[in-house]
Amino acid sequence: MKNDPYKKAGVDIKAGNDLVNKIKGDVAKTFDKNVLGDIGSFSGFYSLPKGFKNPVLVACTDGVGTKVALAQSNSSLGTIGQDLVAMCVNDMVTSGAQPLFFLDYYATSKLNVTETASVIKGIAKACKKSNCSLIGGETAEMPNHYVGKNFDLAGFSVGIVEKRLIIDTLNVKKNHLIVGIESSGAHSNGFSLINKLIKELRSKSERERLIKLALKPTHLYTAVILDLLKKVKVKSIANITGGGLLENIPRSIPKDLSSEIYLDNWKLPTLFRTLQDLGNIQINDMLRIFNCGIGMTVIIDPKDLNTTMKVISQHKFKSYMIGKVVNKQSTEINFV
């Protein structure tokens, strides 16, 4: 439309329609038999799966934080969608819930159809891997709010779990073991510090190497955890996100107990060793800011250790027995 007043104000309706046409095929591939309707409706519709006696819905929402800025500045947006999905479904699965559906929110100063489609295609691909239907979303063009080419990304997911099978901390006892599942890198946490350290690097080759390591997409843990729950009576689970090991492991342990974490039981990956050296970061701060190579922890009975590690290995993840539950001490988590 010539002389479109809305386009003159910075909002391109045609670009929004072009985006829908560009992504609808990828979105449709995520649909399962419970999805009603198609993309383009005012709402997404999803029938509750059958077979649950006392179903409980579980909801999670999150974003990717300033990892978005690093990905955008390095033309590497293809995996940001997986980061977004992972930040939600990895939280959800700690309760034993299986994801059902996902919605995304993409807000930008000016809609770049190709760039946005790349992100949403990544979201759809990650939803497919997580058996989660992408049933809707929102793309908002806000030229007077976001500056330049900036954009932000958020996600929302809903899952389901049988009430009697909800994972909490009630069954965690002294001498239960803590098994760590490897992370892919920093996942989507600590990037305000990572971005600062990257900018301070003078060597272009070192900067590019660190960027490549930092932008590895967040692991999706839904499949491995849900499979593990079928074979082992997992006592508790923690997703190691913001707050690192220091703050997240205690969330999976009763208040009247503590944990011992054996730092020598796994090797600090290259990314974290590099960040520690560049920022001269003390180990306690590393453990509070980053996952330090452990993306998810499960608490189990010692008799289940071999089975647990076998199942994790079958899903192509490395795992480590990183600690155990102990009597209450002066701190909730003790690194030894």
Per-residue pLDDT of the chain (336 residues; tens, 9 = 90+): 556 665 645 565 677 677 878 888 988 999 999 999 766 678 899 999 999 999 999 999 999 999 999 999 998 998 999 999 999 999 999 999 999 999 999 999 888 899 999 999 999 999 999 999 999 999 988 888 888 888 899 999 999 999 999 999 999 999 999 999 999 999 999 999 999 999 999 899 999 999 999 999 999 999 999 999 999 999 999 999 999 999 999 999 999 999 999 999 999 999 999 999 999 999 999 999 999 999 999 999 999 999 999 999 999 999 999 999 999 987 888 888
Q: Which two tokens stand for residue 266?
A: 């796994």
In this prediction the pTM is: 0.93
Residues listed for the chain: 336
Point out which residues pair with 160 in neighbouring strands. 57, 98
Query: Which uninterrupted H or E stretch holds 248?
Result: helix 244-248
Q: CB neighbours (10 Å) of residue 144?
A: 9
Whether 186 and 291 have beta carbons less than 8 Å apart is answered as: yes
DSSP string for 222-234: HHHHHHHHHHS--
CA 15 to chain centre: 29
**From edge to edge, which strands make up the β-sheet containing 236-239?**
236-239, 294-300, 177-182, 319-327, 257-261, 333-335
- Look at residue 7 in the predicted model and tell me its pLDDT: 61
Closest CA to 154 of 76, 73, 27, 68: 68
Domains of the chain: 5-165 (3.30.1330.10), 177-335 (3.90.650.10)
pLDDT value at residue 327: 94
